[in-house]
C-alpha cells in the first residue's frame, strides 16, 4: 500500500505543475498578443502615412517645376515616425531625387536634402543642400562663359575654354585651362595654363597668361541659372563631368521660388 501511495502522489503533483504552467503562459499571451498587435498596427499605419506624405511632396514639387524642367521626382522622408513628425508640424529630413531630369533639353541628375521641412508646404524650410551631376555636353547647353568663343571642356579638376584678346596690338586666339572655385553666387575661374589657338606671330605664352590673370580669377555668374537665394558651395570636376553642390536656407519650395532666378548685381 505504501508503495502505491508513493507512486500516486508524485503523479498528482506533476498534474498540478502542468496545470500551473499553461496558466502563466495564458497570462503572458493575454498581455503580449494585444501589445504586439498594437505595435504592428502602428507600424502599418505609419508606413501608409509615410507613403502618402512622400507621394504628396513629390506631386507638389513636380507641379511647381518650371516649364523647361522635366523629370520624375521621388521623395523619401527620414526619421522614426512620420505621424509623430506630422503632429509636431515638421519633418526632420526630406530627400528629393530626380536622377533623370531634363533642363532646357539638357539631361542631368539632381538631388536635394532638406532639414526642418514644415508639414505646411507654404512655409519655409530650414536648410537645403542640393547636388547637380552634369555631363560636359549638357553643361555646354546650359552655361556660357562670357567672352568664350567655344565649348567648355571638363578635365581633371579643371575647366578649359577658348577665348580671344588683343595682346601687344595683336589679336590672339587662345585656349585656357582654369581651376573653378565655388563663391556663392559666382564660380571663379583661375587660369592656370594657356596655349595659342590661332597663329599670331611670336607671342610669349607667359605674357598671355599674365594678361589673363592680371585682374584675378574670372567670375562667372551662377546665380542667373539658379532660383533666387540658392548659392554654389562646392564644385568638383572630372574629365567630361561636373558635380555642383548648392545650398539654401529659409526658402519656400513653391512655384514662385522654383521659377525665380538670382542675379550677381
For the chain, give the mean pLDDT. 83
Task: Give the Cβ contact number of residue 172 at 10 Å.
Answer: 21
**CA nearest neighbour of 241 among 145, 139, 141, 149:** 139
* pLDDT-derived band at 187, boundaries 50, 70, 90: very high
DSSP code for 252: -
Is there a contact between 124 and 138 (Cβ–Cβ < 8 Å)?
no
Q: What is the pLDDT of residue 29?
A: 61
pLDDT at 88 over 70: yes
pLDDT at 149 over 60: yes
Q: For the segment 70-80, what is each residue's pLDDT rounded down to a tens digit?
A: 999 999 999 88
pLDDT at 1 over 50: no
Q: What is the pLDDT of residue 218?
A: 85
Q: For the segment 189-203, what is each residue's pLDDT rounded down to a tens digit?
A: 998 887 776 555 555
C-alpha cell at 98: 530626380
CA dist 152 and 109 (Å) reads 19
* pLDDT-derived band at 166, boundaries 50, 70, 90: confident
CA 111 from centroid of its chain's CA atoms: 3
pLDDT at 17 over 50: no
Q: What is the pLDDT of residue 8?
A: 47
Question: What number is the average pLDDT over the span 135-156?
Answer: 91
Question: 556663392: which residue's cell?
Answer: 184
Amino acid at each position: 500500500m505504501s508503495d502505491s501511495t508513493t507512486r500516486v502522489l508524485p503523479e498528482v503533483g506533476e498534474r498540478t505543475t502542468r496545470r500551473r504552467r499553461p496558466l502563466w503562459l495564458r497570462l503572458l499571451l493575454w498581455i503580449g498578443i494585444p501589445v504586439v498587435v498594437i505595435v504592428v498596427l502602428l507600424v502599418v499605419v505609419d508606413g501608409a502615412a509615410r507613403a502618402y506624405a512622400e507621394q504628396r511632396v513629390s506631386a507638389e514639387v513636380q507641379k511647381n517645376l518650371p516649364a523647361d524642367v522635366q523629370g520624375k521626382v521621388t521623395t523619401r522622408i527620414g526619421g522614426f515616425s512620420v505621424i509623430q513628425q506630422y503632429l509636431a508640424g515638421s519633418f526632420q529630413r526630406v530627400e528629393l531625387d530626380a536622377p533623370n531630369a531634363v533642363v532646357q533639353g539638357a539631361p542631368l541628375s539632381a538631388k536635394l536634402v532638406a532639414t526642418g521641412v514644415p508639414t505646411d508646404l507654404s512655409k519655409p524650410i530650414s536648410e537645403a543642400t542640393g547636388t547637380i551631376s552634369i555631363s560636359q555636353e549638357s553643361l555646354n547647353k546650359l552655361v556660357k562663359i562670357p567672352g568664350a568663343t567655344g565649348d567648355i571642356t571638363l578635365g581633371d579638376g579643371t575647366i578649359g575654354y577658348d577665348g580671344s584678346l588683343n595682346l601687344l596690338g595683336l589679336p590672339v586666339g587662345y585656349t585656357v585651362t582654369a581651376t573653378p572655385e565655388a563663391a556663392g553666387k559666382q564660380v571663379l575661374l583661375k587660369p592656370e595654363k594657356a596655349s595659342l589657338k590661332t597663329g599670331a606671330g611670336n607671342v610669349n605664352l607667359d605674357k598671355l597668361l599674365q594678361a589673363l590673370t592680371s585682374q584675378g580669377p574670372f567670375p562667372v555668374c551662377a546665380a542667373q541659372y539658379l532660383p533666387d537665394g540658392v548659392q554654389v558651395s562646392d564644385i568638383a570636376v572630372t574629365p567630361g563631368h561636373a558635380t555642383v553642390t548648392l545650398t539654401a536656407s529659409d526658402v519656400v519650395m513653391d512655384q514662385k521660388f522654383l521659377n525665380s532666378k538670382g542675379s550677381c548685381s
